[in-house]
């Protein structure tokens, strides 16, 4: 029993130390990231984008606020209730922000993945006129991200979705797309999400992988 209490005490002390070491920047970022990845409300997405904009203004050397602000605008650009003009405006803003993040953190697979995600959202906004011209660029951008980090689960699942759509359009099999989805989910399941959250690293995308894998069965 004494050993059990000792283990619990050490665990609680460790949590206290980690919490105490968090900076105000880390605390507010963790809060806003959690809000962003748990909502699909347009109003909340815009509020998240605004919050990250304020954080970015105060932390000009950090790439994450720009990254998450860009991600928020990408999610806005995917909202089916918006007109094409409003989708394009949101995606143009997302692209601007992600490119700024890229300057602060070049050769970052997470940033390149969202660059591909933005292109994918542009195709989704008007597939009839943009699919042929942008699909290759989308796949190339995800391929670039995977060259940087072959186990990036977000690049894997987004490439899987794009591959699936192209396969259906051309009447081909979906084996490659499903293989990418399963690989993505395996990576998500192997990651220490708590550690990534502490480091303010992206963790979003697992539900996409889970849904794709279910659809492949």
Total domains, the chain: 2
How high is the pLDDT of residue 217? 75
18 HSE (CA, 13 A, CB side): 11
The predicted pLDDT at position 7 comes to 39
Q: What pLDDT shows up at residue 145? A: 98
Q: Same structural domain for residues 46 and 136?
A: no
The whole-number pLDDT of residue 169 equals 86
Q: What is the pLDDT along the chain (217 residues), one digit of tens a residue?
A: 444 444 344 333 334 434 448 999 999 999 999 999 999 899 999 999 999 999 999 999 999 999 999 999 999 999 999 999 999 999 999 999 999 999 999 999 999 999 999 999 999 999 999 999 999 999 999 999 999 999 999 999 999 999 999 998 888 999 999 999 999 999 999 999 999 999 999 999 999 999 999 999 7
Phi, psi of 214 (to 5 degrees): -60, -40
pLDDT attached to residue 101: 98
Same domain, 84 and 147: no
Asked whether residue 123 is domain-assigned, the answer is yes
Q: How far is CA 165 from CA 101, 123, 143, in A?
A: 29, 11, 16
Instruction: Report the distance separating Cα 162 and Cα 179, nearest Å.
Output: 13
Which 3 state secondary structure label does DSSP give 82?
coil
Verify that 201 and 151 share a domain, yes or no: yes
Q: Are residues 124 and 211 in the same domain?
A: yes
Residue numbers of the domain that contains 95: 26-106
- 79 and 38, same domain (yes or no): yes
Same domain, 81 and 139: no
Spatial distance between the Cα atoms of 155 and 178, rounded to a whole number of angstroms:
14
């Amino acid at each position: 029993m004494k050993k059990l209490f000792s283990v619990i005490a050490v665990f609680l002390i460790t949590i206290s130390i980690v919490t105490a070491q968090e900076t105000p920047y880390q605390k507010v970022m963790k809060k806003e990231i959690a809000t962003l990845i748990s909502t699909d409300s347009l109003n909340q997405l815009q509020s998240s984008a605004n919050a990250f904009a304020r954080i970015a203004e105060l932390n000009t050397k950090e790439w994450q606020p720009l990254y998450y602000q860009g991600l928020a605008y990408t999610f806005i650009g995917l909202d089916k209730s918006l007109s094409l003009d409003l989708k394009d405006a949101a995606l143009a803003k997302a692209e601007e922000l992600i490119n700024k993040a890229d300057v602060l953190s070049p050769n970052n697979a997470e940033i390149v993945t969202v660059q591909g995600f933005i292109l994918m959202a542009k195709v989704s906004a008007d597939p009839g006129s943009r699919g042929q011209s942008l699909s290759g660029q989308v796949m190339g951008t995800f391929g670039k991200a995977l060259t940087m980090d072959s186990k990036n689960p977000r690049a894997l699942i987004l490439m899987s979705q794009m591959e699936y759509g192209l396969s259906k359009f051309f009447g081909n099999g979906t084996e490659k797309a499903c293989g990418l989805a399963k690989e993505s989910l395996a990576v998500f399941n192997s990651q220490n999400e708590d550690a990534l959250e502490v480091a303010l690293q992206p963790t979003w995308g697992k539900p996409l992988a889970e849904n794709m894998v279910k659809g492949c069965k």
